[in-house]
Amino acid sequence: MFIVSSYTLAVVLTFITMLCWGSWANTQKMAAKSWRFELFYWDYVIGILLFSLLFGFTLGSTGSVGMGFVESIKQASTSSILNPILGGIIFNLSNILLVAAISVAGMAIAFPVGVGICMVLGVLINYMATPKGDPMLLFIGVGIVVVAIILDALAYKKHAISEKKTSTKGILLSVSAGFLMAWFFRFVAKAIATDPEATAAGLSEAGKLTPYAAFFFFVIGIVISNFLFNTYLMKKPIEGTPVNFKQYFEGNFRSHLSGIIGGMVWALGTSLSLLAANKAGYAISFGLGQGATMIGAFWGVFIWKEFKGANKSVNTLLAFMFLLFTAGLAMIIMAGNN
């Protein structure tokens, strides 16, 4: 299997993760305007499943280092299977709430608040479990990001008031999504071998998985839980009237393809984050990937014009938000290189 051998490469992969995690939601906006997010989400999950198999049978099955994708699955212990599946269930619930927040409030608030909270709490959780990197630089960077999140929420609230919109539901959905999403990475990480070569040789960590196999079981958790969570939301939607499976099958090619591409883009980012974590550490890999908050805000502000017509004070808050996000991410990168 392919493994990451340098910190520089790990940082490059986490930047790709950041772009993927911050950009996949654009595919929801590219679908037909009448295409509800509950219907979009089925295709999104299909895209994730397809990519997990592609990922496992290509990079996860080539090279001479560690175990192959199928071999890793065959020797997996019960706990190594159940932990990533549980991570997938937690992620899926949080991500459905995030997609709902995007639908209600737009990318410019859902990503900075939801994924931003996820970043802060997730870095703390993963660093406590596997300390790696300079804690002073890491937590200063995270603290700067917290300030950026607050500025974004203030900008959204000021703009919502000026536009006579209700911001409460969007912010509450984003906060709930962020809190839950912070936990999924730790469950997947617990199943991954820290030394893939030693594990393959039977010298240590019997039953632990390669990142490719762990990601596959994580996706299984997403797929299984989607039949519960998303089916319920179709009947009891957060916003709008109920939808049904007949409407899903009546969707056009563009809408279905948008969801599948969105899922594959997100899955690419997540898989690269797991690969990078072995060299950078799970806290830093997760934290850098969550720079997606800035990417999501960029799309929302500059491409989708979600703050169109905002007054000077709102634009000033947004400018400082982008500046602080950039500074915070730089500190996190420096933390991993010390």
Return the percentage of the chain with pLDDT > 90, whole number: 51
Write out the E strands in the chain.
none
Work out the angle at residue 215's Cα, subtended by the Cα atoms of residues 203 and 229, and round it to the nearest 5 degrees: 140
Looking at the structure of the chain, the number of domains it has is 1
List the single range of 65-69, 112-116, 234-238, 296-300 with lowest mean pLDDT: 112-116
Q: Are 11 and 279 in contact (CB under 8 A)?
A: no
Asked if residue 310 is part of any domain, the answer here is yes
pLDDT tops 90 at residue 209: yes
Torsions phi, psi for 217 (to 5 deg): -65, -35
DSSP state of 209: B
Q: Tens digits of per-residue pLDDT, 91-137? A: 999 988 887 787 777 666 776 778 778 878 888 898 998 898 899 99
How many CB atoms are located within 10 Å of the residue 32 CB? 13
Give me the pLDDT at residue 305, please.
80
Q: What percent of the chain has pLDDT over 70?
A: 93
Mean pLDDT on 14-21 = 92
Contact call for residues 180 and 187 (beta carbons, < 8 A): no
Which residue range(s) make up the domain with 81? 7-336
How sure is the predictor about 203, in pLDDT bands with cuts at 50, 70 and 90?
Answer: low
Residue 147 domain-assigned (yes or no): yes
Q: Residue 143, class by beta-carbon neighbours within 10 Å (0-12 exposed, 13-18 middle, 19+ buried)? A: middle
Indicate whether 264 belongs to any domain: yes
Cβ contact 309:163 at 8 Å: yes
Nearest to 109, CA basis, from 285, 314, 300:
300
Q: What pTM does this model have?
A: 0.86
Indicate whether 2 belongs to any domain.
Answer: no
Read off the pLDDT of residues 32-54 as tens digits, 9 standing for 90 and up: 678 988 999 999 999 999 999 99
For the chain, the distance separating the N- and C-terminal CA atoms, rounded to the nearest angstrom, is: 28
pLDDT at site 239: 76
